Amino acid sequence: MVLAAGLGTRMRPLTNDRPKALVEVAGRTLVDHMLDRLAQAGVETAVVNVHAFADRLEDHLKARTAAPTIVISDERGELLETGGGLRKARPLLGDEPVFVANIDSVWTEDGDSAIASLAKAWDPERMDVCLLLARLDRTLGFDGAGDFFLADDGVLTFRGEAPSAPYAYMGVHICKPDLVEGGPDGAFSLATIWRKLAPLGRVHGVVMDGFWMHVGDPGARDEAEAKLAEAEGG
């Protein structure tokens, strides 16, 4: 599932006439960057939720000729955040584990596919969620102090009251879709569920071998374009 229903307020004025998903970075929209990464990892079908400028986003997705096949989860009536969006899309997703991806992440890879490495690490017996992480010193556009500590066995601990943590969640994870069934009605964040599961050792992580760019505002978009151009040139 690709979470593309956000309002993109921090990205204004670029989102004055389009959803954040259609903001371009290095000649490709953010949603296409993510869909192409998923396709490279073998994903055949992607559910994309829509809200702001929904018609324009749907038209763009219909015009795509590359994989994956797109299925729309319509959130025009109510913005549901990450957890509520996944819950609404449950009938479209089925019961098998799913990738869930934000559209404000762009990255370069030094080796194997980051998403494929996430799938390889997935073990439903030991985990309910597995998050793709970036090393804090290999990020751009992320202004936090880190999100997680990572144990040797892959178990994640939230930063909590610590002044910093070495890893940032980079907006892509794999999970059991039924984990949202216990969530509240309406809008809610997936992080609220992760915080309940983490003390049980059910939230794991994989560190990406590459460089992550969080494209959250126009300045970060410009920095990401420069970084991608540098990577291509190098």
**In this predicted model, what pLDDT tens digit does every residue of 204-220 receive, in sequence order?**
999 999 999 999 999 99
- Split at pLDDT 50, 70, 90, the class of 184 is confident
CB count within 10 Å of CB 128 equals: 20
Query: Residue 191 pLDDT more than 90?
Result: yes
Task: Give CA separation, 93 vs 72, 173, 223, in Å.
Answer: 11, 15, 34
CA angle, residues 43, 138, 225, in degrees to nearest 5:
70
pLDDT tens digits for range 63-90: 999 999 999 999 998 889 999 999 999 9
| Per-residue confidence (pLDDT) for residue 39, from 0 to 100 | 95
The two structure tokens encoding residue 212: 């992550």
Query: Residue 233 pLDDT more than 70?
Result: no
pLDDT tens digits for range 112-128: 899 999 999 999 999 99
What whole-number percentage of the chain has pLDDT above 90?
85
| Per-residue confidence (pLDDT) for residue 234, from 0 to 100 | 53
Mean pLDDT of 180-198: 90
- Computed over every residue of the chain, the mean pLDDT equals 93
Q: What fold does the segment set 2-233 form as a domain?
A: Spore Coat Polysaccharide Biosynthesis Protein SpsA; Chain A (3.90.550)
List the chain domain ranges: 2-233
DSSP 11: G
